[in-house]
Amino acid sequence: MLSFQYTKIISPEVIALYEAAFPEEERRPLPAQQRLLVEGALQLLKVMEGGRFVGFVFCWGLTDFTFIEHFAIDPAMRGQGTGTKVITLLFERFGRLVLETELPHTLDAQRRIRFYEALGFGAFSTPYLQPPYREGWEPLQLILMQKGMFLEEHTFSKVSNEIYREVYGL
């Protein structure tokens, strides 16, 4: 059975998967990530199945939605429905979800977008830039996707401005 284990410590298994799943420009430096966890702004949910680590979710509880900053499943567990179960559990627990994903320029990015769309996520049509995690680096053009929102209530600018302010400190 799949479950979440809340923790404020980034374990070696989370670090290994975080670094393998996300290129450096898409990752916050680990000391900053750990500081945000300790301060309570950021949450780390280790995804466990039968007592075994199978993935993680870094997320933020914002005003009226949860922002999934990073989500990864152990490569050995991919294609078995684990990611679908995780997103389903997150939606049941938190309701409205928002996340960033790459533009559909690669087959992997296209696959990820289709995965999220199949789970009920819709992309905001407005272009979105992820601020850089490191000083002097360039922002990344990404897609902002949501699940469970009425778009007339949750406009792109409201959602993106809260993410920029709370997650990226802008």
Does pLDDT of 166 surpass 80? yes
70-120 pLDDT, tens digit each = 999 999 988 899 999 999 999 999 999 999 999 999 999 999 999 999 999
144-158 pLDDT, tens digit each = 999 998 776 568 999
What is the set of domains in the chain, with CATH numbers? 2-166 (3.40.630.30)
**Percentage of the chain exceeding pLDDT 90:** 86
User: Residue 113, Cβ neighbours under 10 Å: how many?
Assistant: 18
Give Cα 16 to chain centroid, integer Å.
17
Mean pLDDT over each residue of the chain, to the nearest integer? 94
User: Residue 13, Cβ neighbours under 10 Å: how many?
Assistant: 15
8-18 pLDDT, tens digit each = 999 999 999 99
Q: What is the mean pLDDT of residues 28-54?
A: 95
Q: β-strands 128-130, 2-7: how paired? A: unpaired
pLDDT score recorded for residue 152: 65
User: Residue 19, Cβ neighbours under 10 Å: how many?
Assistant: 12
